[in-house]
Amino acid sequence: MAWFMGIDIGSGSSKGVITEDGKLVAYHVLPSKANYRVVAQKLRDELLAKVALPPGDITYTIATGYGGGSVPFSNQQVADIRCCARGISSVFPLVRTVIDVQGMSSQVIRLKEGGQVINFVVSEKCAAGSGRFLEVIANVLRIDLKDIGPLSLKSKNPITFTTGCAVFGESEAISRVSEGISKEDILAGVHKALANKISTLIDRIGVEEQWAISGGGGLNVGLIKSVEERLGIQLLVPPQPQLITALGAAIMAEARGGLIARSEITN
């Protein structure tokens, strides 16, 4: 028996998983808050408690994500893009393109079997290309983030955001509200705007079936539908899209840790 850990410290939330022989046995999600070290420790404690193991039983730990450098107990830090590709590949082996929508940015990753990255593109450092845009608009409309997806699906006439900036988008939403446009239509509009940004990323690296979505954006049915409509495709949605990167980290830990274990034996 060997256990492996993947820790993904994102800008908004932090995710951790433990795998055993390639299978997910425990996961935990916490808001990242201010101190990444603290959240990483807490994540580990919670994960170990769930599987009732002492820390020493974890063969190898890989940290990733925005705060991946602040995980004191990790054996290695790996780029989130690679972890995401490995993670999605473990869930959907036929996926060749994954759209990863995070709080700080969106990225589109093309991969081959086994989850090796063959191309990727990351959105500009602009809130309008990330999940953050949705939050900003949800906030200004005073709607709970988890409700915006379902609500947007009720729209019959989504507005067009003519600006590509979250801050402008906010004032545009305000002025649309005062023009009497429904919140549903505004929300559908912001989903469409983000879907457009994502499709621009896709335009840049080309397309290949099958498709999946990961990251926090994968929890939002409105966004999924907008992307599907915009690109005329079907997105595979993993059961826990926000965990994919952490899962990929654990899977890489298995590969890496397994190697070390073998070399110890041969030595």
Partner 1 sequence: MMSNEKKKRAINRLKTMYPLRNLIDEMYQRGVEASKIGKPTAWSMVNWWEADPILKAMDIEIVYPENYGAVCAAFGAAPAYLDRSDSDGFPTHMCGYARNCIGYAARMKDLGEIPPEAPMGGMAKPILLLASGSLCDARYKWFQALGRYLDAPVWTVEIPHPGVEESFREGAYESAINFMVKELGEFVTFLERLLAKKMDWDKLAEITDDIIKINRLWYEINELRKARPCPMHSRDFWSCMNASLYPAGDPKESLKLYQDMYQEVKDRVENKIGAVAEEKYRLAFAELPPWHDLKIFDELAERGWNFVIESWAYHPPKPIDTSQVSNPLERIAKETYQWFTGSFKGALKAKEYMGYFAYPYLEYARDYQCDGALLHPLLTCRTATNHLMLVQDRLLNKLKIPSLVAEGDIVDLKLFDHADTMRKAETLEEMMDHYRGVRREEGLEW
Partner 2 sequence: MTEKERKGLDRVREIYQDRAHRAKELKAEGKQVMGYLCLYPVLEMLTAVDLAPYRILGDMEEPITKADACLPTVVCPFIRSALDLGLKGKYDFLDGVVMAHICDVGEKTSHIWRTYLNPSYFYFIDTPHTVHKAAQQQLKEQLKDFKKTLESFTGRELSLDKLKQAIKTYNRQRALVRELYDLRKPDPPLISGAETLQVMVALMSIPVDEGIDLLRQVISEVKEGKNGPPKKPARLLVWGSIIDNTALIRMIEELEANVVIDDTCVGSRAYFPNVELTDDPLDGLVYRYLVGLKCPRTFRESVFGETKKDYIKDLESRFGYIKDYAKEWNVNGVILQSVRYCDIHGYEVPGLRDYLDHIGLPNIYLEHDYSEAALAPLRTRAQAFLEVIG
Partner 3 sequence: MTKVVIMGRDEKICARIVGPTGAEHRRLANKVMEEALEQANLSFNEISCVIATGYGRINVPFADRQITELTCHARGVVSLFPKVRIAIDIGGQDAKGLKISNGKLIDFVMNDRCAAGTGRFLEVIAAALGLKLEELGEISLKSTNRVKISSTCTVFAQQEVIQRISEGIPLEDIVAGLHDAIASRVAKMVKRLKIEPDVVFTGGVAKNAGVVHALKENIGGEILVPDEPLLTGAIGAAILGKELTLKAVAKGETIQRKERRLEEATFFNRGN
Residues that bind partner 2 in the complex, under the rule CB under 8 A: 124, 126, 160-165, 168, 171-172, 175, 193, 196, 199-200, 203-204
- Please list, residue by residue across 177-195, b when 16 or more beta carbons sit within 10 angstroms of its beta carbon and e when fewer do: eeeebbbbbbbbbbbbbbb
Site string for partner 1, 73-102 (x = CB under 8 A): -----xxxxx--------------------
Sole binder of partner 3 in the list 132, 192, 197, 225 (CB under 8 A): 132
150 binds partner 1 (CB under 8 A): no
Report the SS3 class of residue 72.
coil
CB of 260 to partner 1, least distance (A): 19
Does position 163 interact with partner 1 (CB under 8 A)? The reply is no
Is 223 a binding residue for partner 1 by CB under 8 A? The answer is no
CA dihedral 263, 265, 266, 267 (to 10 degrees): 80
Binding to partner 3 by CB under 8 A, coded x per residue (else -) over 51-80, reads ---------------xx--x----------
Q: Could you say which of 29, 122, 207, 236 contacts partner 1 (CB under 8 A)?
A: 122
Check if the beta carbon of residue 185 is closer than 8 Å to that of residue 159. yes
- HSE at residue 242, side-chain half, CA atoms within 13 A, is 20
Strand (E) or helix (H) holding 223: helix 221-231
Binding site for partner 3 (CB under 8 A): 11, 32-38, 66-67, 70, 104, 125, 127, 132, 140-142, 166-168, 171, 173-174, 177-180
